[in-house]
Amino acid sequence: MAELVREGDNIVLRMSTIEKLEGVHGDIEVPVSAIQSVTALDDVIHAVHGLKMPGSRLPGVFAMGTFLSNEGTTFAIVHHQNKRGLKLTLNGTPYGALIVGVDDPEQVAARLGFKSD
């Protein structure tokens, strides 16, 4: 299961081997200074929009990988059991946002040192 962890001045999205294969990507590391906002999402799967390039997706069920839309480039890891999640809006990185399914987004945000919107 993917997890967001803070390592010094960076936030790391750590993924399992299967998630790396499904998302066609390795772990992602972004500087804390690149994070513009952290938002708790009650319906995380419907927050993932755009054309999947590359990755795995079954609309409304799961989304893993890179998604391109008018809003920019997003990397998402959302499993079918994830109802809630976090959206990290980024600046100055290859991705404009990270969307990750988590059970308790407020707790994860606090553990990372953020208050979720």
Q: Is 88 exposed, middle or buried (0-12, 13-18, 19+ CB in 10 A)?
A: buried
Tell me the residue type at 51: L
Q: At 71, is the secondary structure helix, strand, or coil?
A: coil
Give the pLDDT score at 91: 96
Nearest CA to 16 out of 58, 61, 79, 74 is that of: 79
Please, what is the end-to-end C-alpha distance for the chain in angstroms? Answer: 24
Give the pLDDT score at 1: 86
Q: Is residue 65 predicted with pLDDT exceeding 90?
A: yes
| % of the chain with per-residue pLDDT over 70 | 100
Q: Is residue 117 predicted with pLDDT exceeding 80?
A: no
Dist. CA 38–CA 25, nearest whole Å: 22
In what helix (H) or strand (E) does residue 65 lie, and over which residues does it extend?
A: strand 62-69
Q: Is residue 116 predicted with pLDDT exceeding 80?
A: no
- pLDDT tens-digit series, residues 68-93: 998 899 999 999 999 999 999 999 99
Give the pLDDT score at 71: 85
Q: Is residue 115 predicted with pLDDT exceeding 90?
A: no
Mean pLDDT of 39-48: 96
Q: Is residue 108 predicted with pLDDT exceeding 90?
A: yes
Mean per-residue pLDDT of the chain: 95
Distance of CA 80 to the CA centre of its chain: 14
